[in-house]
Structure 1
């Protein structure tokens, strides 16, 4: 696995991308001052989307969907988070 991430003032800040050994994306998402935020995605080695997660600006998981290697949705979660409608 190869990882690319930006660090500012000792904290992860900005996009993070991880790659499988063959160079295809394994995961990608964004950090803001050390906190996971926004959309995150992970893939299977065959290129099929494995998981989609959406975090609010405080790092609380608001939505998650997971698929099997054939592309069938196997799990879905939505949460109002700690801050209600604020993202």
Structure 2
């Protein structure tokens, strides 16, 4: 099944006070894309107006900037972010319900780890 896709800049996109996304006056289910010029720089998946599913961002040159998954508006599982040179910048691991971070790791542009935090009892990599 192919999800409907709309642009983030579309004039018929609106948000309510609860940050739910509406398109043409209805809660939106599908993909929202964002462009800078002709470059795709963002993609978010929504269900009933709430981010739910894959989320990706790219730098203008097409290099992956960040990716993760959302469930009912919360980040779940593993999400990653990269530096412009392609080196991993950060990894965050969250419980599958999105309510508790389990680990947060960061690296500089040379790949040297600068931060390592694990929740008590969380599995360390």
Tell me if TM exceeds 0.5.
Answer: yes
SS at match of 2:102: strand
Larger RCO (CA under 8 A, 6+ residues apart): 1
**TM-score of the aligned structures, taking structure 2 as reference length:** 0.62
Moved over 4 A (4+): none
**TM-score of the aligned structures, taking structure 1 as reference length:** 0.88
Which runs of no fewer than 5 residues in structure 2 stay unpaired?
Answer: 1-39
Partner residue in 2 for 1:37: 76
- Aligned counterpart in structure 2 of residue 65 of structure 1, from 105, 108, 113: 105
Partner residue in 2 for 1:5: 44
SS at match of 1:66: strand
Partner residue in 1 for 2:59: 20
- Aligned counterpart in structure 1 of residue 114 of structure 2, from 65, 74, 80: 74
Deviations 1:23-79 (A, max 9, x none): 110000000111110000000000000001100023211001100100001110000
> What is the root-mean-square deviation of aligned Cα atoms in Å?
1.9
Q: Matches of 1:21 and 1:47 in 2, distance apart?
A: 13
Number of aligned residue pairs: 83
Q: Matches of 1:61 and 1:2 in 2, distance apart?
A: 26
Which runs of no fewer than 5 residues in structure 1 stay unpaired?
Answer: none
- Aligned counterpart in structure 1 of residue 93 of structure 2, from 54, 64, 74: 54
